Amino acid sequence: MSTHNLALLLVAVAALAAVSGPLGVAGHGLACAVGSPVTVTITWGGVVCVSAMTLFIALLAVIVSTVT
């Protein structure tokens, strides 16, 4: 794998990680809007963030198989 491909994968990981954070904040906001207690809203935001990052890691596997 060339340096160019590794740089592309690093940019992809950074971009996908940057998207999962706002999704977690959106999950937290949704839980607040529903009227859940604070501990539940934090849990919902965390679950959304981790779930999004897990999905993005699976998508990254597709990118890696395409690049190599």
Alpha helices in the chain, H assignment, sequence order: 3-34, 38-67
Q: Residue 34 pLDDT > 70, yes or no?
A: yes
Average confidence (pLDDT) over 23-42: 93
pLDDT mean across residues, the chain: 87
Mean pLDDT of all residues in 52-67: 82
Q: Quickly state the pLDDT bin for 1 (edges 50, 70, 90).
A: low
Show me where the domains of the chain are located: 3-67
Residues of the chain with pLDDT > 90: what percent? 49
Whole-model pTM? 0.74
Q: How far apart are the C-alpha atoms of 50 and 36, rounded to whole Å?
A: 20
